[in-house]
């Protein structure tokens, strides 16, 4: 028989921490951010050694949508986020906000405070957290919405349906609840936040065979998955909370999202570790499985279902979970190289992502929200291309997505060995969960195959071009399997060769070429 939930007094004592991230990243405001935005382009064109001459700056239209869940309808991408925010784009660079704020003027619902009154009554707050939208076989759009009290995992998860992607959505029903102190939970036992989920952060997806699933959860008992009925959009009966996949004991793990790769036949489970605020150390990690409901493993073979906080340590212990999962990106900043100008590029607490494979172009995309060095809690969405390395793991490009077609001159997507050799600024993302912003260091990939400079470690290193834009970098005896590409560097007003590489221990390196 399960023991009763952690006493209500504990929830009160840790209220501040739950407000920041216990409900799936809801601490990020939609239109409430007041900090000065990060400059999107450098002040003047810069001359530096890159692949193409300096050209007119590429521009972006940025939006703040926290916890973005992305769906593509026709040629248009939509991002739905916390606080009933939404935006759309046709190029993944220029976004237009179409909704924001949990109020009766939001066009996604007709009077949302009335439509979701039962949800708000349970959660004891008039707010919505990270949603997800999917189009099911009936052609209708199903929005999986959730609300959380904020100082505890008292949450409600439901679904609303619309004929059009931009709504209005009509509530169908709440189908999961959590945080019922001392009461029986959906699995028949007394709710226990150490092992039962906080029912927020849904992601509903189809597997390779077309079967429908929903993955969800934040902190508390961890990440869970349920089989869904595509005819109703509701869980298949009799599952309780579903199957546990990751986390527990209030480990700071949330924002689960699953992407299938037809090339590798793996399901990739993306999550965010740490706290979402600027000092929380938020970072994105990935594990993989051959089945949609797991088990999900990291490259060391660790079953992520066993990755949870140590209950003997203080609440929200990060040290016990930090060694696991493949870390894609954390807080970092690239220094300006000679000839570069503008705001130095970098992210603070990037996370709560969507991931998308585009079959038509054979591209992978990572879409997430992030804060920025020196900008406090101000946040915006970012899109980065991803690649699959030689070890079958996704690695993320160091710079935000800009297609090569934006180049003023025609450039090839192929990066040769000769193209690769040169000077770089490199970030080592490490495996820690901390507020430390990792600075870039100088490194050289020398033409003779050696790695030199400050970033080459204590014993130096080597690099090998493996064809098809693949590269292997060895530093201090550790091999990083990587992918080369050309990415838009706004500090140089040009496309530059970059590398993104990852070790089997789950550490990622990002490099931007700055000279010959």
Q: What is the chain's Cα-based Rg?
A: 22
The predicted pLDDT at position 29 comes to 47
Mean pLDDT value across residues 166-181 = 97
DSSP 94: B
3-state secondary structure 96-136: EEEECCCCCCCCCECCHHHHCHHHHHHHCCCCCCCCEEEEC
- The model's pLDDT over 128-157, given as tens digits with 9 standing for 90+, comes to 999 999 999 999 999 999 999 989 999 999
Rounded Cα gap, residues 204 and 403, in angstroms: 29
The two tokens of residue 393 are: 């793991």
State the average pLDDT over residues 89-114.
98
The per-residue pLDDT for range 258-297, each reduced to its tens digit, is: 999 999 999 999 999 999 999 999 999 999 999 999 999 9
428 and 437 in contact (C-beta within 8 Å)?
no
CA–CA distance, 388 with 463 (Å, rounded to integer)? 18
Tell me what the pLDDT averaged over the chain comes to.
91
- 171-175: average pLDDT: 98
Q: Which of 19-33, 43-57, 198-212 has the lowest mean pLDDT?
A: 19-33
pLDDT of the residue at 314 = 87
Catalytic residue among 67, 151, 317, 318: 67
Torsion of CA 129, 285, 364, 372, to 10 degrees: 70
Query: pLDDT tens for residues 410-465?
Result: 999 999 999 999 999 999 999 999 999 999 999 999 999 999 999 999 988 999 99
254 a catalytic residue: yes
Among the options 146, 151, 254, 298, which is catalytic? 254
Residue 323 has pLDDT above 90, yes or no: yes
DSSP classification of residue 455: G
Q: Give residue 49's pLDDT band: very low, low, confident or very high (50, 70, 90).
A: low
E strand residue ranges, 429-507 = 438-439, 441-445, 450-452, 461-467, 470-475, 478-489, 494-503
pLDDT at 21 (0 to 100): 39
274 torsion bin: left (phi>0), alpha (psi -120 to 50), beta (else): left
**Tens-place pLDDT, residues 343-361:** 999 999 999 999 999 999 9
The three-point CA angle 269-270-272 to 5° equals 140
State the pLDDT at residue 56: 82
């Amino acid at each position: 028989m399960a023991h009763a939930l952690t006493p209500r007094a504990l929830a009160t004592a840790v209220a501040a921490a739950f407000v920041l991230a216990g409900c799936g990243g809801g601490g990020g405001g939609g239109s409430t951010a007041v900090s000065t935005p990060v400059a999107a382009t450098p002040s003047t064109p810069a001359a530096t050694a890159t692949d193409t001459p300096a050209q007119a700056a590429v521009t972006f239209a940025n939006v703040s949508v926290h916890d973005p869940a992305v769906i593509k309808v026709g040629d248009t991408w939509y991002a739905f986020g916390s606080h009933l925010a939404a935006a759309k784009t046709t190029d993944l660079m220029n976004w237009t906000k179409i909704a924001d704020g949990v109020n009766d003027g939001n066009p996604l619902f007709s009077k949302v405070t009335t439509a979701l009154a039962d949800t708000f009554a349970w959660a004891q707050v008039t707010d919505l957290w990270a949603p997800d939208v999917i189009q099911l076989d009936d052609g209708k759009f199903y929005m999986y919405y959730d609300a959380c009290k904020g100082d505890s995992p008292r949450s409600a998860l439901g679904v609303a349906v619309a004929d059009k992607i931009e709504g209005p959505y009509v509530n169908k029903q709440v189908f999961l609840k959590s945080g019922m102190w001392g009461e029986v939970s959906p699995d028949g036992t007394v709710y226990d936040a150490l092992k039962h989920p906080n029912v927020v952060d849904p992601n509903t997806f189809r597997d390779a065979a077309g079967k429908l699933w929903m993955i969800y959860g934040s902190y508390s008992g961890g990440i869970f998955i349920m089989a869904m009925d595509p005819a109703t959009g509701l869980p298949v009966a009799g599952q309780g909370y579903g199957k546990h996949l990751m986390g527990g004991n209030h480990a700071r793990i949330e924002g689960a999202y699953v992407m299938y790769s037809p090339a590798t036949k793996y399901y990739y489970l993306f999550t965010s570790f740490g706290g979402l605020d600027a000092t929380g150390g938020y970072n994105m990690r990935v594990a993989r499985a051959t089945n949609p409901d797991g088990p999900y493993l990291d490259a060391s073979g660790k079953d992520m279902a066993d990755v949870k906080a140590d209950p003997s340590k203080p609440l929200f212990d990060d040290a016990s979970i930090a060694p696991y999962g493949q870390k894609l990106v954390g807080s970092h900043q690239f220094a300006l190289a000679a000839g570069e100008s503008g705001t130095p590029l970098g992210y603070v607490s990037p996370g709560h992502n969507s991931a998308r494979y585009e079959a038509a172009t054979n591209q992978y995309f990572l879409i997430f929200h992030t804060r920025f060095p020196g900008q406090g809690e101000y946040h915006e969405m970012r899109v980065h291309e991803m690649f699959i390395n030689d070890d079958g793991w996704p690695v993320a490009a160091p710079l935000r997505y800009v297609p090569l077609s934006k180049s003023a001159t025609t450039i090839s997507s192929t990066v040769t060995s000769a193209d690769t050799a040169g000077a770089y600024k490199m970030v080592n993302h490490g495996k820690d969960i901390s507020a430390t912003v990792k600075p870039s260091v100088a490194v050289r990939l020398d033409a003779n195959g050696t790695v030199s400079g400050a970033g080459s470690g204590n014993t130096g290193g080597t690099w090998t071009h493996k064809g098809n834009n693949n590269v292997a970098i060895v530093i201090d005896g550790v091999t990083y399997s990587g992918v080369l590409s050309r990415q838009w560097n706004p500090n140089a007003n040009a496309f530059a060769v970059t590398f993104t590489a990852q070790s089997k221990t789950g550490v990622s390196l990002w490099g931007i070429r700055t000279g010959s």
